[in-house]
């Protein structure tokens, strides 16, 4: 859906590049979701095929522990089957959290619903400041919908806050409205429909102010809860963090019960990322049955927030780096940059931003990489590999840039934050 939104932007750009595209292009939600769901369906089938090919029995049932080494599997019709195994892996992931206010479950949707929504959501209130919230708000706005984001406290908690604010700012430039420091207290349905009309009452988190708003859709993106509550873990004594619902594991993915392992979003203290889960799962299988020793390396797992202007990062957020290393032991190089493709498209020259954090210990090793710009994921991946190899400032300066790209801007970073010099872009 992010791609669909980016293509909308491309249509606007294309006119500047000589394409005789009509000014007001409309978007059809149903065409898009149908195409997307078709692909998702093919992925479902390919996973089933892959399991079959590897002779893995696939059971479409709800599993829960009943005693040590034994689970009960209940299918959609209520039929129960029991399975025993020497080893178990819990990879039940998470589901979106609800607010726990009046009208939330009845009238609000979540990311679980959005991608197969059979009708256009219309004017949408996105509740939350997570990457899910911002990504959804971003593409909905890019598809031409009126979008408001209501955040109770921080945006992109856990991420570099300077970058988070820049992300928000770039979204504001696209017309997304932010309501900061508010939280919904009630959702009422004014009109039924696809979409209908909803009234949201919200309260300020800092005072007594109350506001109201009318929306077609309310999308809750306030966080995700681990699916560890109703799978019988307490029956076998698997320790679960009461507060977060996540399962603490050791460095070989083992829970407090030796024959029970956990991978993916359900694991405590690991990044909630698909490639992390895949890597952890694969390596776990190899250790359990393949005689291999390799452990999953979670350090410097890169990630990207696919907001309209993408944000890629690897390593420390600046504030975290300051906390761990102390400011005087760090150097931060930064610059604004103007992608060449944005010049003719007449897009702003001082929105995209690149930042590198070096630790003065260890030969100026790169400990934080941040980029706000197009194709941030494609850019960040290679840098993550370089950081894995111990990237330093010297090596960065010695590497020749590929011209013209956005990524090359990292090979010519000259301005430090400590110098106080202007980081705006001028010239080729």
Partner 1 sequence: MWGGGDYTPASLTCLVSGSGQTTCTPSLPPACWGMCGHPIPSQDGTSSWTLYHIGNCGLLGSRPRLLLVLPSQRLPLTPAGRQCYDLLVIGGGSGGLACAKEAAQLGKKVAVVDYVEPSPRGTRWGLGGTCVNVGCIPKKLMHQAALLGGMIHDASHYGWKVAQPLHDWGKMAEAVQNHVKSLNWGHRVQLQDRKVKYFNFKASFVNPHMVCGVSKGGEETLLSADHIVIATGGRPRYPTHIEDALEYGITSDDIFWLKESPGKTLVVGASYVALECAGFLTGLGLDTTVMIRSVPLRAFDQQMASLVTEHMAVHGTRILRGCTPLRVEKLSDGRLQVTWVDLASDKKDTGTFDTVLWAIGRVPETRGLNLEKAGVRTNPNTQKILVDAQEATSVPHIYAIGDVAEGRPELTPTAIMAGRLLAQRLCSRSSDLMDYDNVPTTVFTPLEYGCVGLSEEEAVARHGEERVEVYHAYYKPLEFVVPERDASQCYIKMVCLREPPQLVLGLHFLGPNAGEVTQGFALGIKCGASYQHVMRTVGIHPTCAEEVAKLRISKRSGLDPTVTGC
User: Which 107-166 residues touch partner 1, going by CB under 8 A?
Assistant: 143
Determine the Cα–Cα distance for residues 424 and 313; give it in Å rounded to an integer: 21
Tokens, residue 51: 């399991």
With respect to partner 1, which residue has the nearer C-beta, 7 or 201?
A: 7
Angle, vertex CA 134, rays to CA 131 and CA 138, nearest 5: 135
Least distance between partner 1 and beta carbon 109 (Å): 19
Least distance between partner 1 and beta carbon 397 (Å): 9
Determine the Cα–Cα distance for residues 15 and 25; give it in Å rounded to an integer: 12
Determine the Cα–Cα distance for residues 117 and 129; give it in Å rounded to an integer: 22
Pick out residues in 2-21 that bind partner 1 (CB under 8 A).
3-4, 7-8, 10-11, 13-14, 16-21
Least distance between partner 1 and beta carbon 413 (Å): 12
Looking at 275, 292, 350, 418, which residue binds partner 1 (CB under 8 A)? 275
Whether 403 sits among the annotated catalytic residues: the reply is yes
Which stretch in 171-179, 215-223, 228-236, 301-309 sits in contact with partner 1 by CB under 8 A?
301-309
Least distance between partner 1 and beta carbon 399 (Å): 5
Determine the Cα–Cα distance for residues 340 and 406; give it in Å rounded to an integer: 8
Does position 333 bind partner 1 by CB under 8 A?
no
Does position 94 bind partner 1 by CB under 8 A?
no
Determine the Cα–Cα distance for residues 381 and 165; give it in Å rounded to an integer: 23
Does position 389 bind partner 1 by CB under 8 A?
yes
Looking at 274, 348, 419, 421, which residue binds partner 1 (CB under 8 A)? 274
Tokens, residue 225: 């809860």
Determine the Cα–Cα distance for residues 163 and 353; give it in Å rounded to an integer: 9
With respect to partner 1, which residue has the nearer C-beta, 24 or 208?
A: 24
Tokens, residue 122: 């219309």
Which stretch in 82-90, 179-187, 236-244, 398-406 sits in contact with partner 1 by CB under 8 A?
398-406
Question: If you ran DSSP here, which 8-state letter would residue 175 be given?
Answer: T
Does position 273 bind partner 1 by CB under 8 A?
yes
| Pairing mode, strands 80-84 and 260-262 | unpaired
Determine the Cα–Cα distance for residues 299 and 305; give it in Å rounded to an integer: 18
With respect to partner 1, which residue has the nearer C-beta, 143 or 163?
A: 143
- What positions carry a catalytic annotation? 403
């Amino acid at each position: 859906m992010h791609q669909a939104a980016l293509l909308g932007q491309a249509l606007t750009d294309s006119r500047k590049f000589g394409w005789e595209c009509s000014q007001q292009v409309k978007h059809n939600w149903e065409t898009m979701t149908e195409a997307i769901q078709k692909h998702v369906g093919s992925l479902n089938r390919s996973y089933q095929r892959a399991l079959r090919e590897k002779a893995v029995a696939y059971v479409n049932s709800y599993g829960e522990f009943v005693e040590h080494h034994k689970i009960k599997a209940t299918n959609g019709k209520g039929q129960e089957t029991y399975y025993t195994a020497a080893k178990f892996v819990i990879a039940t992931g998470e589901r979106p959290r609800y607010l726990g206010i009046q009208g939330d479950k009845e009238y609000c949707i979540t990311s679980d619903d959005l991608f197969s929504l059979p009708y256009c959501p219309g004017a949408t209130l996105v509740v939350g400041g997570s990457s899910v919230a911002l990504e959804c708000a971003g593409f909905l706005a890019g598809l031409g919908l009126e979008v408001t984001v209501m955040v109770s406290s921080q945006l992109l908690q856990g991420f570099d806050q300077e970058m988070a604010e820049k992300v928000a700012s770039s979204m504001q430039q696209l017309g997304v409205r932010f309501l900061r420091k508010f939280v919904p207290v009630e959702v009422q349905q004014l009109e039924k429909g696809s979409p209908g009309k909803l009234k949201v009452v919200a309260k300020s988190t800092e005072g007594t102010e109350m506001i109201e708003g009318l929306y077609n859709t309310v999308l809750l993106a306030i966080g995700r809860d681990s699916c560890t509550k109703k799978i019988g873990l307490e029956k076998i004594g698997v320790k679960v963090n009461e507060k977060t619902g996540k399962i603490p594991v050791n460095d070989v993915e083992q829970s407090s019960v030796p024959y029970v392992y956990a991978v993916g979003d359900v694991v405590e203290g690991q990044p909630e990322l698909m490639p992390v889960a895949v890597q952890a799962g694969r390596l776990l299988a190899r250790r359990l049955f393949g005689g291999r020793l390799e452990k999953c390396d979670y350090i410097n797992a890169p990630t990207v927030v696919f907001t309209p202007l993408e944000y890629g990062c690897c390593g420390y957020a600046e504030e975290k780096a300051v906390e761990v290393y102390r400011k005087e032991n760090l150097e931060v190089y930064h610059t604004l940059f103007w992608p060449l493709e944005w010049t003719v498209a007449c897009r702003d020259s001082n929105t995209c931003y690149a930042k590198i954090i070096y630790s003065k210990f260890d030969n100026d090793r790169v400990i934080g990489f941040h980029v706000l710009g197009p194709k941030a994921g494609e850019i960040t991946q290679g840098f993550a590999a370089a950081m894995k190899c111990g990237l330093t400032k010297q090596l960065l300066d010695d590497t020749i840039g590929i011209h013209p790209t956005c990524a090359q801007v990292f090979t010519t970073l000259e301005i430090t934050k400590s110098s106080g010099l202007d980081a705006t872009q001028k010239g080729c």
